[in-house]
């Protein structure tokens, strides 16, 4: 295609898909969460879209929401032609959504009742020109750009034969194309064979329209499951897979695994504390901001406590936090956490923390996710705890739950929410440490596993970090200690290659303490003894030195006396001889 096309670049490098510019002009955004992403921008502008679905699959809701968003957000007034329900009933039903329809009516959203009168006497062939003439005038008057024909099958059923139906559909189609209005036909399809619609009476419509969307409402394992699939879209790429959707307070919410063409979320090196100082040290500083942290463990291994510590720390930093509990009521969680020194009630009062008991959320995993997302964005949460996330997999199929887990993480990362999920591991289940019900373990950034370590007839809580992407982390299994002063990790004591926990650790700790004391005392005694010995030796040394000095003096004296005596003797004998005059002096 237009690879050579030059796209003006502004200051920062803006990457534009070469298709995105013209495509944006060619499409009429529906404004429905997820749908515009699936179709790369919305419905084909100035063309017709067929919306197929069984009873209660949400055709009317989708079509109405498309018009409302068009009128409100995109400045495109619309007409809703109701063939089945009266417009009053449709409006009354729409009141249950937060669409605030009343202010839109008349000028930007026209509801036309076109329910056929079944008492109508009919002889011979007829056509829909009367309706088109009227619509043409109204569309011109209100400058309508969008139009919906709801339950077209009703009016088609009145036409006598297939060729008449075909003729009228093509007439309608041509009229729409000439006017350049973006149109949705909704059409009933039996719920179970929406795919084999081509065999159904209006199958030709699927070939005529430019876009065809199938809504499916089924019950899987006792849980309602809604799916949407774009079957065809002329001149555009689209997500061909089934996408689950829910109809919530705001209308349609289509779940998409990954926003097409979405830029990677800006990653950050910012750390947030886990609420347990020693755990932060093990993780090299804490969790990453906007990371997904998974805490797995058997029942009672303090998963909730660990996530509560995180929530408390987040609130202490002044970050808005949402705590979703599937197991117990919010007040119960707060009471239980208070017993281990995690005091959340003050943050609940100040509004920083919001507790949600998800037991009140009924429906599929998809529904729960949508609710959680809605509550989190209403609360503007920066930190989110889901306890336990494995509860999501309780309803519906495993595959659906897996998708939900993936979307949960995608969403939290995109919204830069730090997510802490706990996940219950089934003690009986084979997969033990290796897997979590939602397969969330492979997607999470940090995985902390809590377990019971049975040693010397005791169960103690052991904690280890199975993985932590992008951060150095300790390989040590640590003992998790809960007390009314809070949560902490015990010092490491090993013996015989085992990390000691519980009373064994305590014994070892006290034994070491006693041994320390004994050694200290012994040392002191030894020191004193040595001091005494040293003093004694020093005294002895002094005495000996003094004695030595005396001896030296004595020796000097002795030498001197000896010498003088010799001299005296020698001198004396010579003198004596001289005196006697006997001998002449020798050598003279």
Q: Are 207 and 189 in contact (CB under 8 A)?
A: no
Q: Is 283:465 a contact under the CB 8 Å cutoff?
A: yes
For another protein, the closer CB: 129 or 549: 129
Q: Give dist(CA 20, CA 108) in Å, integer.
A: 28
Please, which residues have CB within 8 angstroms of residue 352's CB and are 6 or more apart in sequence? 315, 318, 319, 320, 321
Residues 444-503 that bind another protein (CB under 8 A): none
Residues with Cβ within 8 Å of residue 25, at least 6 apart in sequence = 45
Cβ atoms of 67 and 182 within 8 Å: the answer is no
Residue 128 or residue 389: which is nearer to another protein going by CB?
A: 128
| CA nearest to 219, candidates 359, 394, 363, 326 | 363
CB of 124 to another protein, least distance (A): 3
Using the rule CB under 8 A, give the single segment among 31-39, 136-144, 521-529, 553-561 that binds another protein.
136-144
Q: How far is the CB of 164 from another protein (least distance, A)?
A: 10
Give me the least distance between CB of 147 and another protein, in Å please. 15
Q: Which is nearer to another protein, 117 or 475 (CB)?
A: 117
DSSP calls for 55-115:
TTSSHHHHHHHHHHHHHHTS---EEEEESSS-HHHHHHHHTTSTT--GGGBTTTEEEEE--
DSSP 8-state assignment for residue 380: T
Using CB under 8 A as the binding criterion, the count of chain residues that bind another protein stands at 22
By CB under 8 A, which span of 135-143, 294-302, 352-360, 552-560 interacts with another protein? 135-143
Binding residues among 93-132 for another protein as defined by CB under 8 A: 114, 116-117, 120-131
Nearer to another protein, 105 or 560 (CB): 105
* Interface with another protein in residues 329-388 (CB under 8 A): none
Count CB-CB contacts under 10 A for residue 30: 29
SS3 406: helix
Q: How far is the C-alpha of 358 from the C-alpha of 361, rounded, in Å?
A: 5
With respect to another protein, which residue has the nearer C-beta, 52 or 151?
Answer: 151
Task: Report the nearest approach of another protein to the CB of residue 159 (Å).
Answer: 9
Beta-bridge partners for 324: 356, 386
Which two three-digit tokens encode residue 412?
């939290």
Among 22, 134, 235, 523, contact with another protein (rule: CB under 8 A): 134
Q: Is 570 helix (H, G, I), strand (E, B) or coil?
A: helix
| Residue closer to another protein (CB basis): 178 or 534 | 178
Site map for another protein, 279-318, x if CB under 8 A?
----------------------------------------
Distance CA 428, CA 430 (A): 6
Cβ-based nearer residue to another protein, 117 or 360: 117
Alpha-carbon gap, residue 323 to 342, rounded angstroms: 14
Instruction: Give whichever of 114 and 384 is closer to another protein, judged by the CB atom.
Output: 114
Whole-Å CA distances, 53 to 84, 215, 245, 326, 566 = 15, 5, 14, 33, 146
Of 153 and 319, nearer to another protein (C-beta) is: 153
Supply the minimum distance, in Å, between the C-beta of residue 70 and another protein.
22
- Between 110 and 342, name the residue whose CB sits nearer to another protein: 110
Smallest CA-to-CA distance from 128 within 170, 188, 87, 92 is with 170
By rule CB under 8 A, what string of x and - marks binding of each residue 145-174 to another protein? ----------x--x----------------
Rounded CA separation 371/404 (Å):
12
Kindly state the smallest distance separating residue 117's Cβ from another protein, in Å.
8
Q: How far is the CB of 165 from another protein (least distance, A)?
A: 13
Instruction: Using the minimum distance from each CB to another protein, give the nearer residue, 186 or 406.
Output: 186
Least Å distance between CB 55 and another protein?
A: 24
CB burial readout 546-560, b (16+ within 10 A) else e: eeeeeeeeeeeeeee
Nearer to another protein, 122 or 561 (CB): 122
Nearer to another protein, 155 or 501 (CB): 155
DSSP 217: E
Give the residue among 149, 207, 134 at the shortest CA–CA distance from 182.
Answer: 149
Tokens of 329: 């009521």
The packing angle between helices 330-338 and 303-316, to 10°, is 90
Of residues 391, 425, 392, the one with CA closest to residue 407: 392
- CB 126 → another protein: shortest distance, Å? 5
Residue owning tokens 């117990």: 328
Closest approach, Cβ 102 to another protein, in A, equals 23
137 binds another protein (CB under 8 A): yes
Q: How far is CA 559 from CA 97, 563, 565, 569, in A?
A: 130, 6, 10, 15
Choose between 137 and 528: whose C-beta lies nearer to another protein.
137
Restricting to residues 543-562, which ones interact with another protein according to CB under 8 A? none
Q: How far is the CB of 252 from another protein (least distance, A)?
A: 29
HSE, CB side, 13 Å, CA atoms: give it for residue 368: 31
Subset of 211-250 contacting another protein (CB under 8 A) = none
CA end-to-end distance (rounded Å), the chain: 143
Q: Smallest distance from the beta carbon of 112 to another protein, in angstroms?
A: 9
Q: Looking at 2-10, 58-66, 133-141, 204-212, which segment touches another protein (CB under 8 A)?
A: 133-141
User: Residue 3 CB, nearest distance to another protein (Å)?
Assistant: 48
Phi, psi of 227 (to 5 degrees): -135, 150
| Closest distance of CB 115 from another protein, Å | 9
Pairing between strand 182-188 and 43-44?
unpaired
* Interface with another protein (CB under 8 A): 114, 116-117, 120-131, 133-134, 136-138, 155, 158
């Amino acid at each position: 295609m237009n690879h050579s096309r030059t796209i003006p670049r502004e200051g920062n490098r803006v990457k534009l898909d070469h298709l995105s510019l013209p495509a944006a002009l060619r499409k009429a955004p529906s404004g429905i969460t997820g749908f515009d992403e699936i179709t790369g921008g919305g419905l084909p502008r100035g063309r017709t879209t067929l919306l197929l679905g069984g009873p209660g699959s949400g055709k009317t809701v989708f079509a109405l929401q498309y018009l409302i968003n068009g009128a409100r957000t995109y400045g495109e007034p619309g007409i809703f032609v109701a063939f089945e329900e009266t417009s009053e009933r449709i409006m009354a039903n729409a009141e249950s959504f937060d669409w605030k329809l009343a202010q839109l009516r008349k000028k930007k959203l026209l509801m036309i009742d076109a329910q056929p009168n079944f008492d109508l006497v009919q002889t011979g062939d007829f056509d829909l020109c009367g309706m088109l003439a009227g619509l043409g005038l109204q569309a011109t008057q209100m400058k309508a750009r969008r139009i919906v024909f709801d339950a077209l099958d009703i009016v088609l059923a009145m036409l006598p034969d297939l060729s008449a139906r075909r003729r009228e559909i093509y007439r309608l189609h041509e009229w729409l194309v000439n006017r350049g209005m973006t149109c949705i036909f909704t059409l009933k399809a039996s719920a179970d064979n929406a795919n084999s619609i081509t065999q159904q009476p209006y199958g030709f419509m699927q070939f005529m329209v430019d876009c065809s969307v199938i809504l499916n409402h089924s019950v899987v394992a006792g849980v309602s499951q809604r799916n949407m699939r774009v079957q065809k879209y002329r001149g555009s790429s689209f997500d061909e897979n089934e996408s689950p959707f829910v109809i919530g307070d705001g209308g349609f919410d289509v779940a998409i695994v990954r926003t097409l063409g979405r830029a990677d979320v800006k990653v950050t090196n910012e750390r947030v504390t886990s609420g347990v100082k020693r755990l932060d040290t093990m993780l090299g500083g804490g969790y990453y901001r906007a990371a997904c942290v998974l805490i797995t463990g058997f029942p009672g291994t303090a998963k909730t406590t660990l996530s509560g510590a995180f929530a408390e720390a987040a609130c202490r930093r002044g970050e808005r936090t949402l705590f979703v509990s599937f197991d117990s009521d919010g007040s119960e969680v707060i009471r239980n956490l208070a017993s281990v020194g995690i005091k959340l009630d003050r943050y609940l009062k100040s509004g920083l923390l919001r507790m949600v008991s998800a037991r009140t959320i009924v429906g599929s995993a998809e529904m729960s996710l949508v609710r959680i997302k809605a509550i989190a964005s209403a609360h503007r949460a920066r930190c989110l705890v889901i306890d336990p996330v494995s509860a999501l997999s309780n309803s519906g199929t495993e595959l659906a739950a897996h998708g939900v887990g993936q979307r949960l993480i995608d969403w939290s990362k995109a919204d830069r929410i730090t997510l802490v999920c706990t996940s219950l591991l089934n003690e009986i289940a084979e997969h033990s440490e290796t897997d979590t019900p939602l397969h969330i373990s492979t997607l999470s950034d940090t995985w902390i596993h809590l377990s019971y370590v049975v040693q010397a007839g005791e169960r103690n809580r052991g904690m280890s970090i199975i993985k932590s992407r992008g951060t150095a982390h300790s390989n040590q299994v640590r003992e998790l200690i809960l007390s009314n002063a809070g949560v902490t990790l015990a010092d490491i004591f090993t013996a015989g290659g085992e990390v000691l926990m519980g009373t064994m650790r305590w014994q070892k700790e006290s034994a070491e303490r006693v041994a320390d004391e004994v050694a200290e005392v012994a040392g002191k005694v030894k020191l004193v003894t040595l001091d005494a010995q040293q003093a004694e030796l020093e005294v002895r040394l002094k005495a000996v030195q003094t004695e030595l000095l005396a001896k030296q003096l004595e020796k000097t004296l002795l030498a001197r006396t000896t010498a003088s005596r010799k001299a005296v003797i020698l001198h004396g004998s010579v003198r004596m001889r001289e005196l006697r005059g006997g001998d002449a002096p020798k050598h003279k």
